Homo-oligomer: A and B are copies of this chain.
């Protein structure tokens, strides 16, 4: 049977109130008493029950984290940083992989509310999910506009899209296509497309965007089929970019002489597995830091005036595909 405070008190020869005083460093405590209590806890392998404690203090130090999947290099790295920073501040992360499914997202939101989490960080599917506006529960979005009242942290998607497109133009591309996710997602990443379109028009070039959702391969093949003279592709995601590289090679295109590719994200994993890919690198650790900072402020009710949108600078990494 798991030891509780009364068992520690018995072994230490003090009262349960005194054990609680030692645990919380509250009230007067003699050094000898403190020592005896710690020894008793060690002897019994006693751990305070945070469940009971949370019930009383009405705080769980839990943060719900909802993203599509840890399998994706960007999310995997982002979630790593979020958890790491949260842990360093004494918070615990409840992981939720929504896989872009609205019903799973809702299910997770209900679960997080039942579990009395102190806050939520979400960067999942959002179309149709209105449940993020929860009274008295701080939520911060990453790369997602979840609600008018919820702060958002993202990279400078517009600048990233601008730099990517400009690079391709500067390198001589004229038939430049953009590949992005579905535009119905309310995400700052749509600014990548906006920037691409603006820069193309500024250069008297015709902007064309392909949207993917799920099967990148099919969309990429269709793109090459429909626009065989494409000479540059700005993919809004490194995984899409890598599929583009493969398809281009299959069709005998010479990268970068005859055909150039640039992606977006620049994660650790991508840099390791596909270092030749030019990309717009997101400041993932900074995004995580800022997200946690804003969330903790809201949890502590210190920042109702948090800036609603935080945009962090990206970095162009030019490699061998441009």
Contacts and interface: CB of A to CB of B under 8 A. Distances in A.
Given A71-B268, A71-B269, A73-B273, 6 more contacts: A51-B51, A71-B76, A71-B267, A93-B94, A95-B95, A269-B269
A22 B47 CA distance: 34
Work out how many copies of this chain go into the complex: 2
Q: Kindly name the residue among A76, A104, A274 whose own CB sees the greatest number of chain B CB atoms within 10 A.
A: A76
Interface string A79-101: 11001100100001111110100
Interface in A110-154: 110-111, 113-116, 135-136
Contacts of A92: 94, 111, 115
Interface stretch (A5-13, A30-38, A52-60, A199-207): A52-60
A135 B52 contact: no
Contacts of A114: 47-50
A272 interface: yes
Interface stretch (A181-189, A239-247, A309-317): A239-247
B47 A110 contact: yes
B70 A136 contact: no
Given A79-B95, A116-B49, A273 B71 contact: no
Contact of A76 (B48, B76, B270): B76
Interface size class of A (residues with CB under 8 A): 35 or more
Contacts of A65: 95
15 contacts: A48-B114, A49-B114, A51-B51, A65-B95, A70-B79, A71-B73, A71-B267, A72-B269, A73-B76, A83-B95, A92-B94, A93-B94, A242-B273, A243-B272, A246-B275
Contacts of A26: none
Contact of A239 (B55, B72, B246, B272): B272
A76 B70 contact: yes
A69 interface: yes
Shortest 9 CB-CB distances between A and B: which pairs?
A76-B76, A273-B273, A95-B95, A47-B113, A50-B114, A71-B80, A70-B80, A70-B76, A93-B95
A70 B60 contact: no
A6 to B, nearest CB: 16
